[in-house]
Amino acid sequence: MRQGIIKQCLLVTAYVIVAIGIVLGVVACGQDEGPFSPSGQDPGLNEATVTINGVKLLKAPGGLRLASSASAKMDQAGGTISIGDAWLTVPTGALSSGTTITMAHASDLWAYDFGPDGLQFNTSATLTVKITLTQLVEIGVDPYDLRIAYATNGFTNDWQILGGSYDPIAQEISLPVDHFSRYSLCIE
């Protein structure tokens, strides 16, 4: 019971931090125009996102490219591969044989490419990206609008929103994936 109360307190604290950030953002925008520009666009999102095929993809922050790629040999026992604040967890039995998994940052988006191309998992792997409430407030993103999208046809930029759920306590978003593609943080 005590752990439940602690989790509720942490969740309330996260909501308060987000609310304070939103209020400060509204105040900083001035009273004449409110939080939106005359064109109806949120100026913070214009700088933090790029819209491709109707999907608002998050741009990568400057330091995200420091660890640009990684590879890991995995077999039927599964494993984890990570770069920066993102990781892919492959469960036992997800792979039929030994495979070298690669993970790399994709373009200027908060996105990741995985290889080998065409790999299908027997059991879903889990993609997790750590993104703090502070980072989300700074770029004007409501944590409950955060999702993960994927490029349906490799590098053609045909993006579709898959989903995912943001955990304000762990400050991360995760999503089960069945195959390799390019995955990116986005806003729904």
Tell me, what CATH number does 139's domain have?
Answer: 2.60.220.30
Put simply, whether the predicted model's pTM sits higher than 0.85 gets the answer no
Report residue 66 as tokens: 């420091």
20 in a structural domain: no
Position 121 scores a pLDDT of 95
| Domain contains 26 | no
Higher-confidence residue of 64 and 91: namely: 91
In-domain check, residue 103? yes
Segments of 5-158 assigned E as strands: 49-52, 55-58, 69-74, 79-83, 86-90, 99-105, 111-115, 120-130, 146-151
Average pLDDT over residues 20-31: 40
CA distance 164 to 172: 10
Separation of alpha carbons 35 and 42, rounded Å:
7
How many structural domains is the chain composed of?
A: 1
Average pLDDT, the chain: 78
Residue 97 lies in a domain: yes
Least confidently predicted of 12-21, 122-131, 136-145, 179-188: 12-21
Q: Which candidate, 159, 148, 175, 160, places its Cα nearest to that of 88?
A: 175
pLDDT-derived band at 26, boundaries 50, 70, 90: very low
Whole-number pLDDT of residue 46? 53
| Any domain includes 34 | no
- State yes or no: pLDDT of 114 exceeds 60: yes
Domain-located, residue 119: yes
Supply the pLDDT for residue 122: 95
Stronger pLDDT, 134 or 33, i.e. the higher one? 134
Domain span including residue 64: 41-187
- pLDDT band, very low/low/confident/very high, at 109 (cuts 50, 70, 90): confident
